[in-house]
Amino acid sequence: MLRDLGVRPSADGGGAIRVWSASATAIELCIFAPRDPNWVVDALQLTRDEHDVWSATSPQLVPGAHYSLRASGPTGPRHNFTPSRHLLDPYARGLSRTPSGEWHCYVQDDAFDWAGSVKPNTPLDHTVIYEAHAKGLSKLNPAIPEELRGTYAGLAHESNIAYLKDLGVTAIELLPVHQFVSEQRLIKQGLRNYWGYNTLNFFTPHGAYASRAAQFGGTGAVLREFKGMVKLLHEAGLEVILDVVFNHTAEEGPGGPTTSFRGLDNSNYYRQMDDGDYIDVTGCGNTVNFATPAAQRLVLDSLRYWANEVRVDGFRFDLAPALGRDANVMFDPHHPLLAKIVADPQLAGVKMIAEPWDVGMGGWQVGRFPNGWAEWNDGYRDRMRDFWLTDIAAERLHGQATQGIGSMARRLAGSAHVFSAERGPLASVNFVTAHDGFTIADLTGYNQKHNLGNGENNRDGTDNNHSYNHGVEGPTDDQVVLDARCVTMRNLLGTLLLSGGVPMITAGDEFGRGQHGNNNAYCHDSELTWLPWTQDDWQTDLLEVSRKLLRLRRENPALRPVRFGVFGETTPSASQMDWYNADGTVMSSENWDSPAARTLQYLAASTPEFEEFNRILLVVHGRATPTVVTLPSHVGVTSYTLLWDSADDSAEGTELAPGDPLSVVGPSMQLFRAN
């Protein structure tokens, strides 16, 4: 059976190794001398069982022992066996690099004292995700000892944790932390893969993100630092979500480096044509073949390891449709792997988030993942950008926006047109930016990407940014332009944090971090991508707005529906929604669709299940010119208390009555509590 793969301790000392390969004719275990990584002190032939699992036992397979595999097998276009090549165990829990640059496995020491620490188990409707880089988040933090900056220990330093808690997020989503390497092309250019989407092994934390003390601290030190980070974040009530890259590996295309899967069973681990050409739906050179039970089991075992032994709280799956493609390379929402991930009792309660697109045929699958999955909602991202950026640009240039407010409102309310009633609004992970693309500041400051520093003559990165520079490309001293950009950032953040669904903030957006217009900064490990810890006055103001919006989201359950409401019914943990135009009357079809009528009033009342009753009114004015809004009359509402105005920080607390006029500048948002 495909169980207990990798190295496991034996009852009588030493350990047993189990490796899967259906194509190999022989597999050899090599154990290296403790002080000489090039000297093989023992070599054992593995024996094969009826499930194509190869195994051996050795008294030398103890924590700290370095080992590799060598495999023999048939020749032919779909195979890549070289009996002399040292390969990595796909299930290795520890990796090290020799002075010559070769990778070896080592038997991990998993011991760690969790001291009673438990997972926060934050409900999804209370979850706010903060997408960050494990190194970049703390690299420039002056409150952290220099030797810990940019490390797992630095990420969990008390100053970092205090910042995240004060901001009000509940989960940190880390860009890939599985051991990865840079692509051969980048190395030749003198660049490196900073984001980490080039996985070498699915069970080992990336060693370079550990402190120097851990890197040279002996067997288990890097893993203990990682677990210590998780423990400290949990003790602060913060969850840890890992961005995982199972869709492809660092072995790249057929001419790439052979380090593990290709040398053990190229024919079964990767999708190929009969002539050996790879079927690549990832754009990264190869695609793991999840039509095979062995590849499916690899993913499940990796998830179980990180969720149960390292105790992380969730996973975001890069290019997730690649995991759901069948033997014919067609996406199947009922694919066994997608179903097993959310049904596995060993993964109960773990958050599963799909990036629901890849670059293969039928690659865009937003809304089609099974119940139990959440998904990045790129339609939300693009529509909200258009509403506050490109539509406003069109109005200023041509006198009228290109679209009405209806499409924006559907997404504001939880994207019921995308996700089934069974899955509800929490299936939507809402975002206006992510690691990939413009930051929120660059969305408001650039019309075009500026990626020359990536070494590809500005060809890389999307040209479809849905951005607006407000009249000047890049930096400017024009205060009118700067003020307009700030209001737009507030409107984007306000929309994100006041929408139904699960919000995700990109690290630094809360105070307007920029990347000089680079919308694909994957190859820059520098101050361009590290989080700055000193801010200008306008950034401090924006940070305070972000904190306030997150507090208002926590305090108002009407903003956090768990289910979609049904007209004429009372649905627990849904929000009853009523929509009014600028005159305070019910929205007409013209109000929804007309580019000239881009003002609405969204009255949402919670249907309590676990929290007190709550009702809010959100006014959205999506034009550049001011207008007057008549606050709506509604049964049970006697007054409105202003909680936040994106255009005026001093306006909080104003009390108004139904039918009162409200002057709003444009474009802007106002949030009221309906009393």
DSSP E strand boundaries for 413-500 = 428-430
Distances (CA, A) of 652 to 86, 117, 224: 66, 40, 47
Tokens of 120: 């926060």
Q: Is the pLDDT of residue 568 over 80?
A: no
pLDDT digits (tens, 9 = 90+) for 613-642: 999 999 999 999 999 999 999 999 999 999
Instruction: Report helix, strand and coil shares of the chain as percent, to nearest 5.
Output: 25, 20, 50
pLDDT of 237: 98
- Residue 495 confidence (pLDDT): 98
Full 3-state SS string of 146-215: HHHCCCHHHHCCHHHHHHHHHHCCCEEEECCCECECCCHHHHHHCCCCCCCCCECCCCCECHHHCCHHHH
Residue with tokens 């001011």: 626
Taking residues 15-26, report their average pLDDT: 98
Checking if the pLDDT of 318 tops 80, the result is yes
**Backbone φ/ψ region at 76: left (φ over 0), alpha (ψ -120 to 50), beta:** left
- Confidence bin at 569 (pLDDT 50/70/90): confident
DSSP 314-356: EEEETTGGGGGB-TTS-B-TT-HHHHHHHH-GGGTT-EEEE--
Cβ 172 vs Cβ 229: under 8 Å: no
Torsion angles phi and psi, residue 264, rounded to 5:
-90, -40
**Distance separating alpha carbons of residues 515 and 327, to the nearest angstrom:** 41
Percent of the chain, pLDDT > 90? 96
Task: Supply the residues annotated as catalytic.
Answer: 318, 355
Q: What are phi and psi of 320, to 5 degrees?
A: -60, -30
If you average pLDDT over residues 164-175, what whole number do you get?
A: 98
Distance of alpha carbon 623 from the chain centroid = 32
Task: Give the pLDDT band (50/70/90) at residue 385.
Answer: very high
Please check the confidence at residue 1 and state whether its pLDDT lies above 80. no
Give the residue-averaged pLDDT of 196-225. Answer: 98
Average pLDDT, the chain: 97
Asked whether 248 and 284 are in contact (CB, 8 A), the reply is yes
Residue 11 pLDDT > 90: no
Question: Please, is 588 exposed, middle or buried when counting C-beta atoms within 10 Å of its C-beta (0-12, 13-18, 19+)?
Answer: exposed
Looking at residue 3, its pLDDT comes to 84
Could you give the CA distance from residue 61 to residue 50 in angstroms, rounded to a whole number? 24
Asked whether the beta carbons of 669 and 494 are under 8 A apart, the reply is yes
Helix/strand number for the chain, H first, E second: 15, 25
Domains and CATH numbers, the chain: 6-106 (2.60.40.10), 124-185+197-378 (3.20.20.80), 380-528+541-557 (3.20.20.80), 566-674 (2.60.40.1180)
> What was the pLDDT predicted at 405?
97
Decide if pLDDT at 567 tops 80.
Answer: no
Phi-psi category of 349—alpha, beta or left, where left has phi over 0 and alpha has psi -120 to 50? left
Query: Three-state SS for 137?
Result: coil
What is the pLDDT confidence band of residue 374, given thresholds at 50, 70 and 90?
A: very high
The band of 651, judged by pLDDT with boundaries at 50, 70 and 90, is confident
Residue 649 pLDDT: 84
Q: What tens digit of pLDDT does each residue of 273-286 get? A: 999 999 999 999 99
